[in-house]
Amino acid sequence: MAERFVKVYPRFERFWHWAQMVLIMVLLFTGLALNGLHSFIPFGPATMLHIIAALALIVLWVFAIFWHLTTGTWKHYVPTRDGLFRVAKFYIWDIFKGDPHPYRKAYWRKHNPLQAVTYLALKVLLFPAVWITGLMALGWNLWEDTPNAPMLGALVSDIHLLAAYTIAAFVIAHVYLLTVGHSFREHVKPMITGFDKIDLTPEEEAYLEADEPDRLKP
């Protein structure tokens, strides 16, 4: 294995990540206002901004899903038990003793097993839950006369809030983990430059040097 700086976060992935972060922050801020938890923005503008940010995020996610499927990067999110408990033990206990992270990023496996499971759960459970319930709430006028609509409306609202608060908890944990181990700057820099330290097999290194030299930092 050779340790090299490899561009593992392409331009679109970095744009998607940061645009998604901004839109989720807008949604959380306006969502809290709509639920009366702060009054920094009036109800009307908060509603309009919440809807615009939500629709923009759905469009962004559709493009991101298409990009993941067509580039093969979806493989980074395939869950595995190999090393999962070692990584979980690191975050629960070993991290507080200053032990090194047990996972070494690979060319086709840049997410550790715990990240893969977490990101997959976000993409197939939480994000669709927010999409579907948000769109159902937005289209309330279309189904308000159906049987049991008030009860279903309350259920939709509860699921939407539960998913939103769970995403907020993920954001807080995500930012917290950026402050442990390496410095915050070292954690964030790869998502800005695209380059991260990766263990390459001789075959992967030879392939990149021959066919994609721009992905290797000298």
Residues ≥6 apart with Cβ < 8 Å to 152? 143, 146
Is position 136 within any domain?
Answer: yes
Measure CA 211 to chain center: 30
pLDDT of residue 184: 83
Is there a domain that residue 61 lies in? no
Distance CA 188, CA 98 (A): 20
Decide if 126 is inside a domain: yes
199 phi and psi, to 5 degrees? Answer: -85, 120
Percent of the chain with pLDDT over 70: 100
Q: How far apart are CA 59 and CA 61, in angstroms?
A: 5
Whether 38 is in a domain gets the answer: no
pLDDT tens-place string over residues 83-127: 889 988 988 888 888 888 888 887 778 888 999 999 999 999 999
Global confidence as pTM: 0.87
pLDDT at 158 over 80: yes
Residue type, 20: Q
Residue 168 contacts by C-beta under 8 Å, 6 or more apart in sequence? 28
**Around Cβ 200, how many Cβ atoms within 10 Å?**
19
Cβ neighbourhood burial of 67 (10 Å; 0-12, 13-18, 19+)? middle
Question: Do the domain assignments include residue 23?
Answer: no
Average pLDDT, the chain: 91
Mean pLDDT (whole number) for 58-81: 91
Q: What is the pLDDT of residue 98?
A: 80
Domain that holds residue 149: 2-17+70-215
**The pLDDT value given to residue 210:** 87
Instruction: Tell me whether residue 42 is in a domain.
Output: no
In a domain, 35, yes or no: no
Let me know if residue 104 belongs to a domain: yes
Domains contained in the chain, number = 1
> What pLDDT sits at residue 65?
93
Tens-digit pLDDT profile for residues 175-218: 988 887 778 888 899 999 999 888 888 888 888 888 888 888 87
